[in-house]
Structure 1
């Protein structure tokens, strides 16, 4: 089972995403602030990071940069309400692999998750995902 960490501070968003991804066969861990998210990623082996930008303790852009210092390979999907082109560029330039703006269609989130996991899997291991 693929392990995903969701770094998001809105409890309603967390419960919606967690429930939906678990129903799709993923194991979900949650961090409600940026610092905890960085610590969890550094201490566990996750297959994917889903990351909000507006977080307490440390914003998502800084979280992404911290993760990239020690982990170049884990895919990072920004999931945020900040939809301006400048924000998207900042997210991708900080080390993000993809960017999805809230509100979003859950089917699109699942498709992006599958795509990022497939890319990671094909880049690091042989076989099927």
Structure 2
């Protein structure tokens, strides 16, 4: 079964890169241009994984992560958090205890695919 991934990213070039990389590797990808758009889509459809940018307009990645916890879905998606900021600083946010992986941007295609695969494998192990 194809895994469904929601990419929440306000930078069009980064979004296109992530979407293209994941699509060509067999994932079904839905995109959202900010946290509010992503949260609205997550309320209407189930995803296996959400890849979320940190700094976005309307609703940032941290607020998106918090809001995702309020959804009462039986199959909560895994979360990968992306940031251009210093990860030592970013990791101090309490919301990041709710995510499965925090990664630095820019991210290589290999690192993206390895981490997506690993996080989705954890989902299978806990299902």
1:89 maps to 2:92: yes
Q: CA contact under 8 A between 2:49 and 2:77: conserved in structure 1?
A: yes
Unaligned stretches of 5+ residues in structure 1: 125-129
SS class of match (1:40)? helix
Q: CA contact under 8 A between 2:22 and 2:113: conserved in structure 1?
A: yes
SS class of match (1:79)? strand
- Give the TM-score normalised by the residue count of structure 1: 0.89
For 1:83 and 1:69, how far apart are their aligned partners in 2?
28
Aligned length: 123
Unaligned stretches of 5+ residues in structure 2: none
Shift in Å at residue 89 of structure 1? 3.3
Q: CA contact under 8 A between 2:34 and 2:57: conserved in structure 1?
A: yes
What is residue 43 of structure 1 aligned with on the other side? 44
What is residue 106 of structure 2 aligned with on the other side? 103
Shift in Å at residue 79 of structure 1? 1.2
What is residue 23 of structure 1 aligned with on the other side? 24
Q: CA contact under 8 A between 1:73 and 1:120: conserved in structure 2?
A: no
What is residue 121 of structure 2 aligned with on the other side? 118
Kindly report the root-mean-square deviation, in angstroms, between the aligned alpha carbons of the 2 structures. Answer: 1.4
Q: CA contact under 8 A between 2:48 and 2:76: conserved in structure 1?
A: no
For 2:81 and 2:53, how far apart are their aligned partners in 1?
6
Q: State the 4+ residue runs in structure 1 displaced beyond 3 angstroms.
A: none
